[in-house]
């Protein structure tokens, strides 16, 4: 049974949304992934979001662009956490998506990540699930430790080479 529901408004969101799925794969978290448009197919969307709890979904990751109502409507219909990913847009640079997703009315929160921030959405979903999964929590701690040692290695290189030679060889 999938623990996370990934949903996006269009296949034009897929390359960004895939980054959330890749993170879940990395942590061994099961998910279902769908393209469902809240505006173009409202009845199907309603059915999907309403049925998510019964299907065993614990967190929804929803990405959309422009007048991005999909994450907010997921939060209206699904009783557990919803993470929203605003898509970059050519006309308004994704501010349209960001404001649509982040400016939710009181009582219906959407945990909104950065424009295009699908990787963080995946990590946040993992952290939410880790609250009741000690093995997953251990994997998240390892992940953080690995990130820290990567930065440490970069600083060690900077100290050794200096900034002028940092990028060379
Ligand atoms: C939204 O409209 C989608 O989430 C997408 O980001 C945007 C554009 O969709 P397409 O016109 O490319 O299908 O519903």
CA distance 144 to 105: 33
Task: Give every CB contact of residue 48 below 8 A, 6+ residues apart in sequence.
Answer: 5, 7, 34, 36
Query: Measured in angstroms, how far is the CA atom of residue 66 from the centroid of ligand 1?
Result: 7
Which ligand 1 atom sits nearest the alpha carbon of residue 89?
6
- What would be the CATH architecture of the domain defined by 4-132? 3-Layer(aba) Sandwich (3.40)
Which ligand 1 atom sits nearest the alpha carbon of residue 39?
14
User: Best substitution site from 7, 8, 9, 70 to test ligand 1's pocket, by max atoms within 8 Å of Cβ?
Assistant: 9
SS3 category, 12: helix
pLDDT tens by residue, the chain, 169 residues: 999 999 999 999 999 999 999 999 999 999 999 999 999 999 999 999 999 999 999 999 999 999 999 999 999 999 999 999 999 999 999 999 999 999 999 999 999 999 999 999 999 999 999 999 999 999 999 999 999 999 999 999 999 999 999 998 7
The domain locations on the chain are 4-132
Instruction: Please give the model's pTM, rounded to 2 decimal places.
Output: 0.96
Query: Measured in angstroms, how far is the CA atom of residue 34 from the centroid of ligand 1?
Result: 14
SS3 category, 62: strand
């Amino acid at each position: 049974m999938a623990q996370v529901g990934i949903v996006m408004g269009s296949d034009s969101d897929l390359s960004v949304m895939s980054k959330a799925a890749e993170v879940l794969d990395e942590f061994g978290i099961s998910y279902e992934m769908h393209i469902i448009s809240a505006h173009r197919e409202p009845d199907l969307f309603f059915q999907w979001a309403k049925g998510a709890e019964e299907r065993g979904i614990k967190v929804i990751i929803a990405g959309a662009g422009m007048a991005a109502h999909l994450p907010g409507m997921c939060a209206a219909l699904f009783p557990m956490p919803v993470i929203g990913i605003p898509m970059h847009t050519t006309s308004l640079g994704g501010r349209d998506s960001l404001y649509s997703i982040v400016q939710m009315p009181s009582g219906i929160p959407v945990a909104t990540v950065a424009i295009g921030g699908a990787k963080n959405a995946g990590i946040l979903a993992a952290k939410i699930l880790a609250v009741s999964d000690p093995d997953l929590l251990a994997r998240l701690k390892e992940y953080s430790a690995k990130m820290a040692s990567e930065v440490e290695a970069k600083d060690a290189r900077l100290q050794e080479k200096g900034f002028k030679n940092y990028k060379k060889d």
